[in-house]
Amino acid sequence: MATTAESVKNFTGKQMRRVSKMGFDWNMVLILIFLMGFGLIMVYSSSSYMASRDYGGNSRYFFNRQAVADLIGIVGAIALMFVPYKLYNKVWFFPWVFYGIAVVMPLLTIPFGISSHGASRWIEIPGTGFNLQPAEVSKLAMILFMASYLTAKKNTLNTWKGILISLAFPVPVCLIIYLVTENLSSAIIIFGISFVMVFVVSRDYLRFLAIIGVVGLIGIIIIVYVQNADISDGGFRIARIYSWLHPENSSDTTAHQAIQSLYAIGNGGVWGRGLGQSIQKISNLPEPHNDMIFSVICEELGIVGAITLIIMFILLLSRMFFIARDTKDTYAFLLVVGVMSHVMIQVIMHIAVATNSMPNTGVSLPFISYGGSSVCFMLAEMGVVLGINRSNRAEVRK
C-alpha cells in the first residue's frame, strides 16, 4: 500500500485551515504561539525559586534566557518559511553534507565541550553566554538527509536489504551521540525518527512488525535479566532500569527523580495547586524547569492542565498531518513526517519519564522545557514545515 504524497493527494475532505494570501497556516502558527507562551510561563514558575537562590536573587534568569532563545528561534523559523524546501535537495551532495553535519557535530564536544550535570553535551558559543547542544543540530540534519535518501531509494524499501541499509545510516550518528556525549535519549530519538520515516515510505509493513517484535523481545529479556541482576556490577544503565522496576528500593539514589515526579503529579490532583504553587519544585524535584517540567505542570494545573497541553500537541501534529497530506512530492512529504515524528517521539518520551512509564532519561518537552538549543532547532523544523505549506498553497493557486 503506497504511503507517499502521490498516494494521498487524492484524499478528499474539508481543508480545515485558514490560510493567508501568503500561504501561512494560521492554525498551526497560533498553536505554536500558545505552546511557546505557555512554556515561558511554566519555565518561570518552575525555575523562579532556584534562579533566585542560585543567581543572586534574579528569579527571571531562566525565563529571560528562554525568551531570548524563543525570539531567535522565531526569526529562524520565519526565515526558513521563505526558503524553497527543494533547495535542501537541489544538488546531489547536499544531503551528504547534512549527514556529515549530523556525524561531526557531536564529535566537536571532545575538544570544545563544556561539562554540565556530569556530561559534556554542550559547546559554548563565544561572546554570547549561550551554549549549543550538538545533538539538536544532528536531529534536524538527519531529517534532511533521510528525506532525501529515502526519496531516491523508495523503490528499494520493499526488501530486507533496502530497509536494513536505510536503517543503518542513523546508527553511526546514534552511537557517536551516545558514546561521546552520553546522551542516550537523543540517540533514541534520532533512530526513532529515521525508523518512522522508513516505515511510512515502505510498502511492506510486515517486515517492520518483525523488527518491532524482535526489539520488543530483546526489551523483555533485558527486563527479566535486570529483575534478577546484581546491580552493583551492572553499571549506570542497568541501575536506571532496576530503579524503574523497583523505585522503592532506590528512592534516595537513582529512583529519586522518578519518585519526586510522581509525588508532584499526585499533589496536583484534578485541578492542581495553582500556578506557582508547586511544592516539589523547591529542592525536591531535580530539573523542574527542564526534564521534569511536565510534573510541575501536573502539580500546579492538575490533570486538566496536563490534558489540555496534550490536546495542543495533538492539534499541532494534526496540522502537520494535513500539510503532509497535501504535498505533491515524496521529498516534502518525508520532511514533514520527519518533523512530526520528532515532536511525537519527544513528547511521548518526556511524559513517559515523568510518569515513570519508562526508565529515566533526560528528555525536554518541545517548546515547553527550558533549553535554547532545543527550542531554536525545533522552531527551525516548524519553519521548514510552514515553508512546505506555503509551497502547497502556491500550487493550489496556480
- The total number of residues written for the chain in this structure: 398
Percent of the chain with pLDDT over 90: 64
Query: Of residues 53 and 128, which shows the higher confidence score?
Result: 53
What is the model's pLDDT at position 20? 46
Contact 359, 347 (CB under 8 A): no
What is the model's pLDDT at position 230? 61
Over residues 323-371, the pLDDT tens digits come to: 999 898 999 999 999 999 999 999 999 999 999 988 888 899 999 999 9
Considering the entire predicted model, what is its pTM?
0.90
CA-to-CA distance for 41 and 228, rounded, in angstroms?
44
CA-to-CA distance for 353 and 222, rounded, in angstroms?
18
281 Cβ partners below 8 Å, 6+ apart? 45, 46, 49, 50, 264, 288, 296, 299
Based on its alpha-carbon atoms, the radius of gyration of the chain, rounded to whole angstroms, reads: 21
What is the model's pLDDT at position 233? 56
Contact 362, 121 (CB under 8 A): no
What is the model's pLDDT at position 19? 42
Helix (H, G, I), strand (E, B) or coil at 283: coil
What is the model's pLDDT at position 234? 58
Contact 348, 366 (CB under 8 A): no
Instruction: Grade residue 196 by pLDDT with cuts at 50, 70 and 90.
Output: very high
Over residues 291-325, the pLDDT tens digits come to: 999 999 999 999 999 999 999 999 999 999 999 99
Contact 351, 32 (CB under 8 A): no
Over residues 128-177, the pLDDT tens digits come to: 778 899 999 999 999 999 999 999 999 888 899 999 999 999 999 999 99
| CB environment 45-70: b (16+ within 10 A), e (fewer) | bbbbbbbeeeeeeeebbbbebbbebb
Residue 11 has pLDDT above 50, yes or no: no
Q: Can you list the alpha helix ranges (DSSP code H) found in the chain?
A: 5-8, 26-54, 61-81, 94-107, 109-112, 134-153, 160-168, 170-181, 184-201, 205-227, 235-245, 256-268, 293-326, 330-354, 372-397
Residue 275 has pLDDT above 70, yes or no: yes
Helix (H, G, I), strand (E, B) or coil at 279: coil
365 Cβ partners below 8 Å, 6+ apart? 293, 294, 346, 347, 350, 351
Instruction: Grade residue 43 by pLDDT with cuts at 50, 70 and 90.
Output: very high
Over residues 208-245, the pLDDT tens digits come to: 999 999 999 988 888 887 777 666 555 666 777 877 88
Average pLDDT of the segment spanning 275-290 = 89
